A and B are shown apart, each in its own frame.
Chain A
């Protein structure tokens, strides 16, 4: 007679907050909510713009309020973390890139992609300043 009686241990229900990589993962995913929130702010601006000058003025007043500034500072940190971790995970989500018969290291892909994102953002900020002048 077999004496097998395999024991299945329960999964730790708090694995997503375990210190280290799991918590970093949870934070990365949570900051996605921050991105969506900022999308809502931008969308609200767009709607105010389409409704005419009065609505737009109200939106600008909201942007100048202390609550909005605090929100934007928090969202800036959240977005920065999301951008950083987004490009860290990027090499894991795409086929391997082979150049001259060698695999391009993950770190190189992350660095180049981050550089392009930072350059695009800087160009956009510069463009906005030039147009606003």
Chain B
């Protein structure tokens, strides 16, 4: 054994394992992983897969917090594994679980079907007020108009906000923070004209009204998207839309 290897520290990872073929329900498996100061939790998982147990399943891609694939519960908190460094975690075993509130497919892999359906449902594209031909020129926008929605366009669909949201846990039909950030990204865009169309999706308990402003979704967001803001400012819009219909001459 080389001197460097002998000096290597090890850390215990407690990983929630689940195989749909052999396991009735998930249970923890424990791994001792050699680590260095520059090692992320993702690298620790890759070390396990490469050297200790090749059957460990988890999603990852970019390793630099832009793809949103490696979200998981690390010590009980939803985080990107690539963006969480072992040196910054408290000493002692590190607990790694799949994202809360999502069905587990296998080990750390969860179902994203429901989330993708929600994203698709909010018309996540610009629907112009008045379509222009190419000859009419581009849809113009000032920098100030862009700032109005820009932070919401930073979402990487990592679903950490859903894992942090207890109301989504209680009501899986709740549209949730991520899809609302996507909705507000387009409803806040000066070039868009489909605000009413999207607003009609979010009335009721499965719309914005499951939210009780817990706010942890925004705390855990690795991109500072502030999805809680997207949900809560649309409560006002939803309420206004409800009451304005009683005004004489309101078109419904």
Contact = CB atoms under 8 A, between A and B. Distances in A.
A21 B143 CA distance: 34
A92 B232 contact: yes
A127 interface: no
Nearest to B18: A7
A11 B142 CA distance: 45
Contact of A21 (B26, B170, B215): B215
A3 B215 CA distance: 37
Interface in A1-51: 3-9, 11, 15-16, 21-22, 25, 29
Interface stretch (B79-87, B131-139, B144-152): B144-152
B40 interface: no
Interface stretch (B31-39, B42-50, B99-107): B99-107
B111 A103 contact: no
Given A9-B100, A11-B169, A93-B233, 19 more contacts: A3-B20, A4-B105, A6-B111, A7-B18, A7-B26, A8-B104, A9-B104, A11-B100, A15-B166, A21-B216, A25-B213, A25-B216, A92-B226, A95-B233, A96-B188, A96-B229, A98-B144, A101-B143, A102-B147
B241 interface: no
Contacts of B103: 6-8
A95 B188 CA distance: 9
30 contacts: A3-B20, A3-B21, A4-B105, A6-B104, A7-B20, A7-B103, A8-B103, A9-B26, A9-B100, A11-B101, A15-B169, A21-B214, A21-B216, A22-B166, A89-B215, A91-B229, A92-B213, A92-B218, A93-B232, A93-B235, A93-B236, A95-B233, A95-B236, A96-B147, A96-B151, A98-B148, A101-B147, A102-B147, A103-B147, A103-B151
B105 A94 contact: no
Interface in B27-80: none
B120 interface: no
Contact of A25 (B18, B21, B214): B214
B25 A7 contact: yes
Contacts of B151: 96, 103
Contacts, number: 80
How many residues of A sit at the interface, in one of the four size bands? 20 to 34
Nearest to B103: A6
Contacts of A103: 147, 151
B180 to A, nearest CB: 12
B121 interface: no
Contacts of A100: 144
Most chain A CB within a 10 A radius of its CB, from B26, B147, B236: B147
A4 B229 contact: no
A9 B21 CA distance: 17
A11 B229 CA distance: 24
Contacts of B26: 7, 9
Most chain A CB within a 10 A radius of its CB, from B100, B215, B236: B215
Nearest to A91: B229
B20 A4 contact: yes
Contacts of A93: 213, 229, 232-233, 235-236
A7 B27 CA distance: 12
Nearest to B151: A103
Contacts of A15: 166, 169
